[in-house]
Structure 1
């Protein structure tokens, strides 16, 4: 039940972190926002302290030449960026800047074309959990079991209810950029060592999930240990012992 609640909360959270925008307007031939826009900017800023600026676009009206207007749009961008910087907002190092002279669909109302549009994302708060805390406080050489990681029978397909743990692991790696790990897969029940290399495939499935979510592959390795490191002797006596042998762990390599 707790896992289902966590998934719902995470999905709701992700929806709230979509890209948003705010517009700043200028008087004719001016490169600093007008008084009305400054008041609106201050109100917007008070409500948006935890955001990251990812893109900014500058525009002009249709008066004067294309080249002059583009340079004016650039100056407008510079001044708005200076305001954002002084306000302490985070600006993405790969910020996209786009200045337009006349080459955009203009409004018939000229005042609406004299603007800068700021695109931003809300910064996701870190997910605090027992797993993320354990990883954060772990020492080099420590093994940590990933709780509630499940796969479909005899395959490397991850069961959807494992998603909260995967997100927690991803967050731990994002919050600790120096962290390097080995992902270790283990299976149960077989006396012969992992005939179909399922443990390798399962470790690789976790590895690929993290790569798809932009974790640098240089920070990770993966390895399958089959049944060579069981917690309980094989054959296991109970279903619980099978579950505990059938596991994925991470080894802390570097912090």
Structure 2
């Protein structure tokens, strides 16, 4: 199982998975197995999604961009990742893709790009970002693929933010240093807001501090790249969530 390639099966494109069910692969999936991984009939694969869980399967046929697999049995029961929502200002292409990849591996439940005063790019290839999230989910063995919502202005995010959830706002050059045990107040579904390269403007910082659901988050006294800040903030939130799960809080 651990050495078998993992393939995400979009629950909107396939009926519920069942033992001995034969599934026709989408062309890009068949191409990946046959032409990239050089697999053939008889090879073992793993398929998954949050609705059906994780299933072992065998390749029945595989030719160019066509193929079929036969499901064997469920290996893991379905469940969705109870992770935070990551609000981030779009960055240059490689950095944005890194945020999606690292965020998926660190358990983000949903990505929400936001436009700020200092956002330096307003173009996003949502199809490519979705593919990166899918590939990262396949690699890190989670059962779901995080959603990527359409971008919107920061003011719209704040105007519609649920008042019963916290929004952790990462600001630069703050003391004290972050707690190595993570954020004990973090809960599943809370948000993490990361600004653009150059940080939030003074007006935005003042605006964010006034929000009753906003919690200012220190990532230490050093100035981090925006993609590094996203990974650091998510690691702190993840540590806090794991600590609560262990302690039963």
TM range (shorter): under 0.3
What TM-score does the superposition give when structure 2 sets the normalisation length? 0.27
In terms of fraction of residues, the more strand-rich structure is 2
